[in-house]
Structure 1
Amino acid sequence: MNDEMTLEPMAVRTLPQKFYAILRLLDLIPHDLIALISRLSIAAVFWQSGQTKVDGWHVTDNAVYLFETEYKLPFVDPWLAAHISAFAEHFFPLLLVIGFASRLSALALLGMTLVIEIFVYPDAWPTHGTWAVCFLVIIAGGPGRISIDHFIARHFSRGI
């Protein structure tokens, strides 16, 4: 008879059994909640970064200057990199917040994170690793039921 089948009261269990039972409670945390927190928190990080690059609808000269002097991405013109970055840091977080094209958005921002890690701030791997985990939760497990993606998938699965 396994632990799940026993009807022993908690008081009769050994200390390791009690500890294991408490740990089993963590299995009850729904992916929907984890995915929502991942989507919202990582979206905020990139949105805030994007906000530092724009003034209204225009990319700032300071953002272009940073791409020329500090970021120095290979193979990409600094003006173009600043504009693409500002767009991506607004567009993909917005999609993550509403839960539309979530896996694609997470993949795009994971790619951006890898570029930042490899070419710009290689010593910031603890931060970038944390970001990557948020993206991988969404990429591997989906955005959860609190998303437009879920409603679209549910709508199209009815006809199958």
Structure 2
Amino acid sequence: METKDVIVNLRKKYGLTQDEMAEKLYVTRQAVSRWENGDTIPNTETLKLMSKVFDVSINTLLGQPKTLICQCCGMPLDDSLLSREPDGTFNEDYCKWCYTDGTFTYESMEQLLDFLVSHMSNGKCPPEQVEAYYAQLLPQLGHWKTEK
């Protein structure tokens, strides 16, 4: 979905006119019209405000141009799984289980690996296979990468 379609859908979902949406975002009705026509897209600060006002990630506002994965555990992310900062804004790097209100849940990769093995193992995926998979994946994620 394109940004213009996301904006139209959000405005309609919240039952707003272009004027009402413009007022909430401190812009003109013409700016909203240009976004909805696809002539322009909101600037960075307006995207941040829209994210907060409409409780959607900036990635969603931009039409989900990139697939997000948690940079701690590797889980694919959508808006319902994204973590939040202490001020309530989305953090698009982590899931809500690995990072909440400015705090990481797991103090070490080993602690996370133990959790994942105990919760992801089943009849089709034995613990050894789960551990091997995550032992390879986790060091590649942003949170666990060590600078060289």
Greater RCO, 1 or 2 (C-alpha within 8 Å, sep 6+): 1
Q: Which structure would you say has the larger Rg?
A: 1
Query: 1 or 2, which has the higher strand percentage?
Result: 2
Give the TM-score normalised by the residue count of structure 1.
0.27
